[in-house]
Structures are given as structure tokens and as C-alpha cells.
Structure 1
Amino acid sequence: MIAAVPHQQEYDLCVVGSGPAGITLALEYSRLNRERHVLLVEYGYKGQASGNDLDDTIEIKNAINHHSPYECTNKGLGGSSATWGGRCVMYDEVDFIDRPIVAEGCTWGVDLFREMANYVPRAATYFECGNPVFDLHESPEFRNARIAEHFLEGIVTDSVVERWSMPTRFGDRYARDIAERANLTLIQGYEARDFAAPDQTGNVSSMLIRDVKDKKVYEIKAKAFVLAAGTQETTRILLRNTQLFRNLDTIPTALGKYYQGHISGKIASIQFTGNPSKTDFGFLRDSDGTYLRRRFQFSSKFLAEQNLLNTAIWLDNPLYFNPKHRSGAMSFMYLAMIMPILGKKLAPPAIAHSVTKGKVTGISQHIWNIVRDLPQSLTTPASIFVKRYFLDRKLPGVFLFSPANRYALHFHAEQIPDAANRMELGLDGESLVVHYELTEDDIHSVIKLHGVLDTWLRDCNCGELVYWYTEDELPDAIRSMSRDGIHQSGTTRIADSPAKGVVDENLKVWGTQNVFVCSSSVFPTSGQANPTFFLGAFAIRLAEHLSNVYENSRVS
């Protein structure tokens, strides 16, 4: 049910943040525990202004490689799913192996990775991404097909896929479920402020929340609290509430540190040797209509042995802004995206930037491309527009067939957990300062794995890579093109002790008995995967864990 102000009662569970993780956790816990009462607290509210105090008080130290706060998160019911693309990706075994390159930064283990498989099917239901099969070897329909003629699997694979949600806007999709759940109360327009200090057993009795509009403060009492406010705000709340660690010898040194995203961009094209019509350049459709897409990946064994960072590489279009692609459809979509009003309606800022790269260039050549390719210059975008904006399950992206069997390659690579990449409070104790840089090892791994892919393709007689830069130019090119801040992780990482991390394997904050974190900030390594879906699986697992903890305490 919906409440205008907090009910003055003790809740069984208070969840801060109503993004995909918070909504999934609150709904799942309230479903499993019909007699227990859940409070879901959201900072955003209907009719809110375009700006907000939280994003306005974040300082990004590296604007080249990190998006602005307003491009990274959304306030309001549904959180960042309001502009989420819908890509659902699984993490890999290598992400849970402590390799030398991550310098003891992998503080979770393979047993946890294997356990998480139990929660993936339920997460797929919430995310509406179909049957949770992420490897085509498990799909009778696709297991014998390859990405292109002559390709063979080995240390390089083509069978791991990304699955695509509707995309599900969690706020719109689950608003009715929340309203109709008698034991679930949603309040919007409240900021989580201060926790009571834990008692000697680590129990935290209450938390103060503040009305965003009139600044009135309310006390919320609960048997358990979960911070699911995203990496930035979850980290800021913990940095501001160090009294939570009073039962420890010291505040966990990992708090706010080891901030990661992904290294991402394009430095090469792939030229296949086979029949262009036999190349899986775009989307596959599962039996239930879910969109799938292949990715080149590298085996966990190979990455661990070669001490390289996990990386996915997929087929992509040439750079839209460069009219040399000679595609009328691409030129039309580029021009539409750079139009001030229309462009904002077509895609969120971060996705629009991935198309335009912030460049307005070659207008006359783009217009000539459109004229030369008529009528396909208009009919192809029109067909795409209908599939992307008028169907329930929307076309996730645009990938155009290449008669020459040549495609750009987009890389999406793991970052090293570097303590220098961090979030910290400003001198006022309220603002959040974000330090984020790329390391030489981050960049070297991307270059090395492109070379591995090139060699593998040549050995298979499947194709070869055509680089866009000289070897000497590659590091600077990667450093200048990669921009993240959307896939935030690492700052409250899982570890087996407070000396190494901030939360334990069950996501409980060290030094407490009943404060938990459900955010990708708990992921010690970023892997190659977008974190949203896998975090949903952790939300399911946490709902089950909290249910069991409550039941055990009642029995005892």
C-alpha cells in the first residue's frame, strides 16, 4: 500500500532505494513473508524538479572517463531502470578467481558464484528476460550454429549471450504490485540520513529519514535495514554513518575504495572471410520472443593462466558520426540523435553519447549518404523506430547488415580494483567526491585480448581484425574514448573479514547484525558484465536469507 508519511511502527524490514534491486528485494521478501511488514523508502517523488541535492553535491574528478551524476542514476520509483537499456548479462567464473592482475582484489569466491545459479531463474522473472539460458550450448535451437562461417570455439567463444529485458521499467511495471501488497509500504521523497549506533550485539534499532521537500525528520524503527540506493548513495550513507562500525577495531579500510566500472569503446573492425548472409551480426530471438545476442568472450581458464582481465567483444556498427560508413540509414539516425529536442527523446544521454560521441560533424556528407540510399535511408529507420518504440518487447538496439561482412568491434572490459579509484566525503561531510582513472594494466589487457582474437580468427580462417589506430596510438585512443560511471561497483565489497571488505558473504555490514547492502557496490570485481541483472539475483538471495534469519531467531 502507499503512504504519504511513514507509519509510526516497527517494520520487519526497511529497504532504502527503489531501483531494480530494492523493488525486487521488497517484493520478494514480502511475498515470502506475508505476515511481516516492509517499508520501501525512495528519495525521488512524482513531480520532482529536474535537479536534486544528491546529484548536485557529487564532484567527478575525471570528466573525460566518467559520466556526470545526472547521466549515471535516476531518482524516483524504479531508479535507474527508467533509462536502463535492458541488457541482462551473467558474470563468469573467472570473476571469482583471485588472479595476480587484480592484486588480491577478488574477495569473493567460486563457491558463491556457483551458489548464485540458484537465484538466476527467479531474477529472470522479475527482469522479464525470458528463459535464463546464457550459453547457446544449452539451447537446442542455437547450439550447433556459429557467429560466422569457419569459426571454431576454444579459448575464444561465441556461445555466451546477453539476454534483453523488455526493457522493464521497474517503477511502471511493479507500481501496482507494490500498491496491492498489504504488507509493503512505499514512501517517496525521503532521504536516508542517520543510523542509530549499534548496541554491543551489533543490532541497529532505528534510522532517521528526512523529507526531501520540507526537511522534516522521521525515525524509522526496523528489525533489519537494507541499503539498495545504488553505489553512489549507498556508499555516501555508509561514509556518513561510521558509527555503524563502532564494534570493530577500525572502520573498514575498503569503504569507498576499489571503485570500478568498465573500459569500453572501439579500436578495430572485424573482416570475416565467409558468406555475409551466414554471419550472426544482429539479434537472435528465443522461442518466447526474447532478444539474444552473441559476444566474443575468452575462457576463464585462459584468462586466469594469461593473467588478463575479463572482456567481452561484440559486433557493432561503424562510428555513426563518421560519414565514411556511407550508410544512409546510419546517417539519418545520427542526424536525428544530434537534434537537441528529438535526440533527448530517442535515447538517454549516456546511450546517445555512445552513438554521437558528442560530435556534430560531416553534416553535408551525412545528407548525401541519405539521398544516395533512398528509399532505404528512410524505410530502415522507420522499421527500427516501430520495433523500438511501439512494441511491448522492444528491439534493444540497431545493428545493420554489412554486405562486405565487415563490422566494428565494441569491447567491454573489466577494470582492476584499484584503491586509488574511490568515493569519499567532501570537507563538508555531505558532498561526495569521485576519483576515477584508468590504469595501464586496464588498457594493456584490452589491447592484448584484441590480439588474441585476431590470431584466433586467422587460425580458424574465419577472418581478421583491422585496427583503426597504429599500435603506438592504441593506449591513448582507449584512454580518450572510454567513459563509464554507469556500471558502478566495488566500494562496499564482499569479503570474509572487515580487514578486506565492508560486507560479508550475506551482504551484512561488518560490525552490525541487521544492516545490509544490496547494491553492485558489493561486487569486488566488475568482470565483463553489466551488473544490473546479476544484482537482481543477489536481491533474491538476500530476501531468502533475511527470511531464514528471521525464522531462526523466532524459533530460538
Structure 2
Amino acid sequence: MISDLVDKGSLTEEGDFLVIGAGTVGLPFCTELATATGKRVICLESGGRSQDHETHPLNEVVHLALPYEGAQKGRFRCIGGTSTRWGGALIPFQAADLFNAGWPIKIDELLPYLPKVEHIFGLSEGGYTDEKFPIDLRPHYVNRLAKWPAFKHRNVVNVVGSRAEALQNLQVWLNATVTQIRCTGEGVEVVASTAGGDQIKVCAARLVIAAGAIETTRLALLLRQQNPELSSAISPVLGCGFADHISIGVAEIRPVDAAALNKVVGFRFEPGGSMRNIRFELAMDTPLRQTLPPSFVHIGFQVDKPGGFDALRDVFRYLQQRRLPPPKVLVHLLKGLPWLLRAVWWRFVHRRLLYPEGARLVAHVVIEQTAASDHTITLSNSHVDPFGLPRAEINWSITAADVEKLHRVTDAFEQTWNDAGFSRYGTWKRYPKDQIGKKLAHSGGIYHPTGSTQMGYDARSGVVDADLRMFGAPQVQLLSTSVLPTGGGANPTMMLLLLAMRCVDQHVNANFPIHPASPAKVSSQVGSV
């Protein structure tokens, strides 16, 4: 069931599990958890049915160094969360990305859950490598294919929303912003409020915070602040090691054979409306892994003037948000009809996305940022949100070491581009290093945050254990990309979804004993926490 807390007054509920966040991971997780365990699951979502604006006042943070743009631009508060705008690339890390990187689990513990995630999002079958790729990238690189859900499946509300609405043992509350978290001997007591003063108190045996990397970290910090008796037991590295992927265009690809190049590196259409795109990652056993960070290179395009492609993309983005596109978007689509007709031909004949006319093809390098201990998320002493709670303060920057690593990765792939025979499709025209450095100096990240509540072997090395339980508060689990110790050489969302499905499985198999809660009940009073 999905309900809005607005105008509900004061409520009290009890459940076996409480999940904070009904976004990209939170909504599928609590839906699968309720279905698989049959236990009472309550979910609190601070947003409503949709977020119409591109930013949200509750997502404001204090920047202590370089502004981290992902604090606002990459976060959405509503049911579905970031999936209402999400690009959708899903691909697991390679096993080598986890080697000697502080991960307390191996990739083999997560890969069995790939079929489950692929089924949920309607992804195409098959592996994540093109065995028939016409270019041999060995010994240093491999091709890998990210899978992209169809636009209608990128918003998790479209994927699992009807199930969530129908489940009698799942209650999702919208416009319920968590303001208090209290750990008890029996579990947790959490209070959430609306802007108008409605409140709900939830008592549960286990709490799972799945509110996105920044908000999950802030809530974990609030938990420590509001439970001073646990402060010494909770990991001292909570909030430390905040990192993102560093990405920038490093070279323009000048086509030698534009059609052939489009077929080799263009987006691929799959049955059911899903897509795949090729990227190039370090090979598992290349010696370059001893000197270069996990990374990948992909070929994108840039246009100087919007055209048919931009209009078509806007149409699908509105549909992803469960909104009808405005007339002006449809007008732009009609103006781009000549390109659109050719694109349809490419879609069904070549199964590729046709590059827009006049597009410049750009090679983008994406590297794992070193999780520096002084890159932190903390609670502000001077800035509060509309509920009177401290805002997050983010101390993050791109260091000279990051820039140097990006240049070295670019050097390595440029050599592979020329040696492997890519030049018969297009020539590599590298941008000047000083130009890249200047752009990076003002880069705000690419919204792949990791590290601030990382998994570890113990409380000295991590905030949560291999099963995502907080050291010092084991009845609380954290489920966001902030638990990933490193950013790896791929987009992080698939890794988080795999962790979520593993967590469901562990609860089904009773690997996490919990105190059974009494049947759900509602009262007219909210008790103190």
C-alpha cells in the first residue's frame, strides 16, 4: 500500500522491517523484502508522488571545498527517487576492481543475483562482453556492454509500483521526512514528519536506510548524534572517504568511416526496448592495474544545436517521469523529422542509435577517485533544514593526483586505440592537457558517490560489515552506494542492486535473526523517542 502522510495527524505503526527511502533501490528492495519474507515492512519516503523541479530544498548542503554538484543535480525526493531521471546504465564491477581494495566480500557473492536484477528491470539476456567485437583490445583493455532498461522500466515505480500498492504487508508513507532515530534493545523507533506537522512513529526490529549516498550518510550521522550511548561503538570513519568517479572528455574522434564507426561504438537496441552501450575497461590481468585506477572509456557525442535527437530524448524523459511532454517538445520533434526517419531505419536495420547530424564524437575517460580520508560528509553546526535538523557539509575536491591519474589512463587508452586498429574507423584527436586540467578544476563530479559509509572488516576500516550492518548498531543496515569502499571501473548502481537482492535473500534464510514485531497498529498519539 502507498499512502500520503499529509493530513493524517499523529500515527504509530509497528513492523518487522522499516526502510527509509523509496527510490531507485529502496522501493524494489522493500517490495522484494515484503514479498519474499511475508513480514510486515514499512517504508518512509520524504518526497511525494513526484518532484517537478530539478532541485529539492531538503537536498541543500554546505560545500566546504569544491562544490559537489551531485548533492543537488543528481538527487530527487519522490517515490522512485533518482530513477525518475536516471540514465539507467547497469553493469557489475569486474572481480579485479575489488582486489586489494578493502572489500570484505568477493564479486562471486553478488553475481548469483544478476538474473534477479535483470528480470526486475527487463534487461536483455546475455553477458556483459561482446565476444564478436571487431577489435582486439588485448592485452590491456576489454570491451564491456552496460545494459540500459527501456525508458518505461527506468522509473522503478513503473517496474514495482503496482506490486507495492497491492501488498498488504507493505506500507509506503510519502512526505514522511525522518527527524528522529532511536536504537532500542528491541530494534528501532523512528519519527517522521510532514512539512505541516503530521507525524508517524514507527517501531521495528530492523532498520534499513536506503536514502541515497548523501542522505544515508547524514541519517547515520544523525543516528549517532541522537544515540550518544552508542557513539563510541559506531565506527569513527563514518562520513570519511567520500568519493565520486572523475570524468571528462579527453579527445575528439574524427570519423574515417562514419557509418562503420557508428555501428561499432553506437548505442545498441535490444528486444523489449532495452539498450546496451560499449565501453572499454582495464583487462582483469593487465599489469596496468598496478599503476592505474579502475576506469573506463566510452564514446559519446556532442551537438552544438538541438535537433531531432534532443527532442526524442526529451519525450522519453517526460514519460520516464510519468508526465506527458509539453507541446513545445512535440513541435521540436516534428522539426527533427528528417533525422528521425533515418534514425528509425538505423534502429530496425542496424539496431543502432544513429548519431545526430553534425555531432562531434568525444571520448570520455571515467576513473575511480581515491577515497581520501579528508573528503568527508559531516553535520553542519550552523545550517539546518526546514525540520530544524543539521544539513550535510561536504568537503570534497578533485586533487592534483586525480588529474594525473586521469592523464595516465588517457595515455594508456590512446595507445590501445592506435595499436588495436581503431584508426580505420576514426582518428584520435586529443585535447590539450592544460585544457583538460582547467575543466576538471571546476568539475562537480558525475553523481556516482561512494565511500562515506563503506563496508569494512571491522569498525576501524568500515562503517558497516559485509552484511551492511552498522558496527555499534547492528539492527541498522545501510543500503546505498555510500557502502561501496571504492568506485570501481563501472557505474555503481548495479552493485548496489546486487547487494540489495543479497540482503533480501539473507533475511529470507534467517541469517539475520530479528525480534518479531506485534501486528501493525495505529494510534492517535506519537510517543517521544
TM-score scaled by structure 1?
Answer: 0.77
Tell me how far 1:344 sits from its aligned partner: 7.8
CA offset digits 1:147-167 (Å, max 9, x no partner): xxxx32313435311111113
Which of 495, 499, 513 is residue 538 of structure 1 equivalent to?
499
Tell me how far 1:303 sits from its aligned partner: 6.0
Q: Which residue of structure 2 aligns with residue 228 of structure 1?
A: 210
Which of 388, 405, 412 is residue 366 of structure 2 equivalent to?
412
Indicate whether 1:434 and 2:394 are aligned. Answer: yes
Matches within 5 A, 1:322-401: 331-333=305-307, 378-381=337-340, 399-400=355-356
Q: Which residue of structure 1 aligns with residue 525 of structure 2?
A: none
Report the CA distance shift for 1:314/1:207 in structure 2 as closer, same or farther (over 3 A). same
**Structure 1: gaps of 5 or more residues:** 99-105, 137-142, 322-330, 349-374
Give, in whole Å, the separation in 1 of the partners of 2:56 and 2:209: 19
Give, in whole Å, the separation in 2 of the partners of 1:76 and 1:303: 45
CA offset digits 1:94-143 (Å, max 9, x no partner): 32122xxxxxxx3214x52111101111011222222262122xxxxxx2
Give, in whole Å, the separation in 2 of the partners of 1:485 and 1:246: 37
Q: Which residue of structure 1 aligns with residue 276 of structure 2?
A: 292
Give, in whole Å, the separation in 1 of the partners of 2:244 and 2:176: 28
Letter in 2 for 1:145: F
Matches within 5 A, 1:50-199: 50=53, 52-56=56-60, 58-62=61-65, 66-67=68-69, 69-98=71-100, 106-109=101-104, 111-131=105-125, 133-136=127-130, 143-146=131-134, 151-167=135-151, 168-199=154-185
Give, in whole Å, the separation in 1 of the partners of 2:310 and 2:271: 33
Give, in whole Å, the separation in 1 of the partners of 2:406 and 2:94: 17
* SS at structure 1 position matched to 2:276: strand
CA offset digits 1:333-392 (Å, max 9, x no partner): 39978xxxx9987869xxxxxxxxxxxxxxxxxxxxxxxxxx99751156669999xx9x
Give, in whole Å, the separation in 1 of the partners of 2:247 and 2:19: 32
Asked whether the equivalents of residues 19 and 81 of structure 1 are also in contact (C-alpha less than 8 Å), the reply is yes
Tell me how far 1:431 sits from its aligned partner: 1.2
Q: Which residue of structure 2 aligns with residue 372 of structure 1?
A: none
Indicate whether 1:259 and 2:230 are aligned. Answer: no
Give, in whole Å, the separation in 2 of the partners of 1:47 and 1:169: 11
Tell me how far 1:61 sits from its aligned partner: 4.0
Asked whether the equivalents of residues 56 and 72 of structure 2 are also in contact (C-alpha less than 8 Å), the reply is no
Asked whether the equivalents of residues 198 and 244 of structure 1 are also in contact (C-alpha less than 8 Å), the reply is no
Indicate whether 1:41 and 2:44 are aligned. Answer: yes
CA offset digits 1:473-516 (Å, max 9, x no partner): 44334334x43252121110000111111110000111123110
Tell me how far 1:458 sits from its aligned partner: 2.7
Give, in whole Å, the separation in 1 of the partners of 2:335 and 2:182: 63
Which of 490, 495, 498 is residue 529 of structure 1 equivalent to?
490
Tell me how far 1:232 sits from its aligned partner: 1.4
Deviation above 6 Å: which 4+ runs of structure 1? 272-275, 334-337, 342-346, 385-388, 395-398
Q: Which residue of structure 2 aligns with residue 328 of structure 1?
A: none
Which of 470, 473, 497 is residue 458 of structure 2 equivalent to?
497
Give, in whole Å, the separation in 1 of the partners of 2:345 and 2:379: 45
Indicate whether 1:13 and 2:17 are aligned. Answer: yes
Give, in whole Å, the separation in 2 of the partners of 1:48 and 1:169: 13
Q: Identity rate of aligned residues, in percent?
A: 19
Report the CA distance shift for 1:188/1:380 in structure 2 as closer, same or farther (over 3 A). same
Report the CA distance shift for 1:258/1:15 in structure 2 as closer, same or farther (over 3 A). same
CA RMSD between the two structures: 3.6
Report the CA distance shift for 1:32/1:22 in structure 2 as closer, same or farther (over 3 A). same
* SS at structure 2 position matched to 1:10: strand
Q: Which residue of structure 1 aligns with residue 479 of structure 2?
A: 518
Asked whether the equivalents of residues 268 and 465 of structure 1 are also in contact (C-alpha less than 8 Å), the reply is no
Report the CA distance shift for 1:205/1:288 in structure 2 as closer, same or farther (over 3 A). closer
Tell me how far 1:172 sits from its aligned partner: 3.4
Give, in whole Å, the separation in 2 of the partners of 1:417 and 1:131: 34
Asked whether the equivalents of residues 86 and 165 of structure 1 are also in contact (C-alpha less than 8 Å), the reply is yes
Report the CA distance shift for 1:386/1:534 in structure 2 as closer, same or farther (over 3 A). farther
Asked whether the equivalents of residues 88 and 163 of structure 1 are also in contact (C-alpha less than 8 Å), the reply is yes
Return the structure number with greater strand share.
Answer: 2
Give, in whole Å, the separation in 2 of the partners of 1:452 and 1:259: 27
Report the CA distance shift for 1:553/1:264 in structure 2 as closer, same or farther (over 3 A). closer
Letter in 1 for 2:80: G
CA offset digits 1:37-78 (Å, max 9, x no partner): 11111111147785754124x1234566x3264312111110
Asked whether the equivalents of residues 12 and 200 of structure 2 are also in contact (C-alpha less than 8 Å), the reply is no
CA offset digits 1:260-315 (Å, max 9, x no partner): 11111212124577795265131223455531111121113326643211111112
Report the CA distance shift for 1:48/1:453 in structure 2 as closer, same or farther (over 3 A). closer
Indicate whether 1:217 and 2:205 are aligned. Answer: no
Indicate whether 1:487 and 2:487 are aligned. Answer: no
TM-score scaled by structure 2?
Answer: 0.81
Report the CA distance shift for 1:126/1:7 in structure 2 as closer, same or farther (over 3 A). farther
Report the CA distance shift for 1:187/1:156 in structure 2 as closer, same or farther (over 3 A). same
Tell me how far 1:231 sits from its aligned partner: 1.0
Tell me how far 1:226 sits from its aligned partner: 0.3
* SS at structure 2 position matched to 1:450: helix
